Amino acid sequence: MALLALAVGIFLLIKGGDWLMRSAVALSLRFSIPKIVIGMTVVSFATSAPELIVSIQSAVGGHPDLALGNVVGSNIANLGFVLAITIIISPIDVTSSFYKTDWPMMIFATLLFYFFLVGDNQLVAYEGAILFVLLLLFMVYLIKFQKEAVLDEAPEDDEALEVSKTITYLLLGGFSLWLGSETLIKGAVSLAQSLGVSERIISVSIVSLGTSIPELSASIIAIINKEKAISLGNLIGSNIFNILAVMGITSMISPVEIQDTGLLSNDIWWMFGISFLVLPLVFFPKGTRLGWMDGLVLICLYFVFILPLFI
């Protein structure tokens, strides 16, 4: 039953996020908001909605390790699993915005996140506010100075939906996200209890991998359609959003306190290590690209991280 609850919860979160994004983009287009702004704000927030709702519900419901583990595990899965599978299937040519803007910001956000947690084992409201303000400043910088680097974030379909359809998607999306998060959290807690492991272990492995499925499917679809900037920018952006938006907003609503210290002593270092490793992989053995050998390195590391959690 716990596994079924997890599967149903993940499905509802994926569908809810998709419906919410469609309605949000349609509303933005109806109000003539520039596409580049839609891509950097509306689409980014909508695609991070599953992680955000799960983290808020977990923190408010007294399961802080689910909130933290979901973000840390998702960031590891985005690079160690989703990116790995993507570049094993098809190599990616990396643009200069990756190492000039995106990667440095991801590393800075990760270090700031760790700094806030390591002092007192918790993330409180003012720290969350700092994270969120940093995100807003970063988005303003991108929109003002890095327009070319974020054009691929803009939605391709610029046709506004009918008002009735937009409202339907908005309501369905919101309800599915709420119901999916409730179901997922109950399933995760139940599974942790039945397996005799901590909520943190279920969160950084199964829950986080489940919430990374949309990124994986989007990357594979991009490969099939032979689109240029397949997924690296999206995945780096997702990792930045997970820390600055998801953890920022969650801790402003309810302080998030670590219960299982493995999050600080193990998981967050894996998140930092894999995030850091992507940079040298881009430049070696030659050029600025990621290929199948880089993908094998990343996915092997991902399994080295996951398997010992259950042993």
Compare 294 and 184 and report the one with higher pLDDT: 294
Percent of the chain with pLDDT over 90: 35
156 has pLDDT over 60: no
Considering only CA atoms, which of 86, 74, 104, 72 is closest in space to residue 231?
86
- Of the given ranges (58-67, 211-220, 300-309), which has the lowest mean pLDDT? 211-220
Per residue in 40-62, is it b (16+ CB within 10 Å) or e — as a string?
A: bbbbbbbbbbbbbbbbbbbbebe
How many whole angstroms separate alpha carbon 264 and alpha carbon 95? 32
pLDDT in tens, 35-71: 656 655 666 676 677 888 888 888 888 899 889 999 9
Pairing mode, if any, of strands 122-123 and 92-93? unpaired
Percent of the chain with pLDDT over 70: 87
137 has pLDDT over 70: yes
The HSE-up count of residue 151 (CA atoms within 13 Å, CB side) is 5
For the chain, strand residue ranges (E) read 92-93, 122-123, 256-257, 289-290
Q: Read off the pTM.
A: 0.85
Q: Select the highest-mean-pLDDT range: 12-26, 91-105, 213-227.
A: 91-105
Q: How confident is the model at residue 228 (pLDDT cuts 50, 70, 90)?
A: very low
CATH number of the domain encompassing residue 50? 1.20.1420.30
Instruction: Kindly state the tokens that stand for 289.
Output: 């690209």
Q: Select the highest-mean-pLDDT range: 144-158, 192-206, 235-249.
A: 235-249
Compare 265 and 221 and report the one with higher pLDDT: 265
Bridge partner residues of 290 (DSSP): 92
pLDDT in the model for residue 35: 60
Bridge partner residues of 93 (DSSP): 289
Identify whether the C-beta of residue 55 lies closer than 8 Å to the C-beta of residue 70: yes
297 has pLDDT over 90: yes
Helix (H/G/I), strand (E/B), else coil: 21: helix
Instruction: Kindly state the tokens that stand for 257.
Output: 């306190």
What is the count of structural domains for the chain? Answer: 1
| Residue listed under structure tokens 């702004």 | 37
Average pLDDT, stretch 65-79?
Answer: 92
| Alpha carbon 98 to its chain's center | 17
pLDDT in the model for residue 207: 84
Identify whether the C-beta of residue 222 lies closer than 8 Å to the C-beta of residue 230: yes
pLDDT in tens, 176-213: 888 887 888 888 888 888 888 888 998 898 888 877 77
Identify whether the C-beta of residue 90 lies closer than 8 Å to the C-beta of residue 288: no
- Of the given ranges (154-163, 164-173, 266-275), which has the lowest mean pLDDT? 154-163
Instruction: Kindly state the tokens that stand for 131.
Output: 């994270």
How many whole angstroms separate alpha carbon 186 and alpha carbon 172? 21
Tell me the angle at which helices 292-306 and 268-283 cross, rounded to the nearest 10 degrees.
Answer: 170
Q: How confident is the model at residue 3 (pLDDT cuts 50, 70, 90)?
A: confident
The boundaries of the domain holding residue 64 are 2-310
Considering only CA atoms, which of 286, 282, 308 is closest in space to residue 295?
282
